[in-house]
Amino acid sequence: DELFERLETASEALDAIEEKYAPQMAELE
């Protein structure tokens, strides 16, 4: 259960990072 919670937290963190950097990545392309 703890491992699953860690994975879920990591997934949410990755989503937040993608949202944060998506605009910058779009400008680079």
Residue 9 CA from chain centroid, whole number? 10
Q: For residue range 1-29, list pLDDT tens digits in order.
A: 899 999 999 999 999 999 999 888 778 77
CA 17 to each of CA 10, 12, 28: distance values in angstroms, whole numbers, following the listed order? 10, 9, 16
pTM above 0.75, yes or no: no
The reported pLDDT for the residue numbered 26 is 78
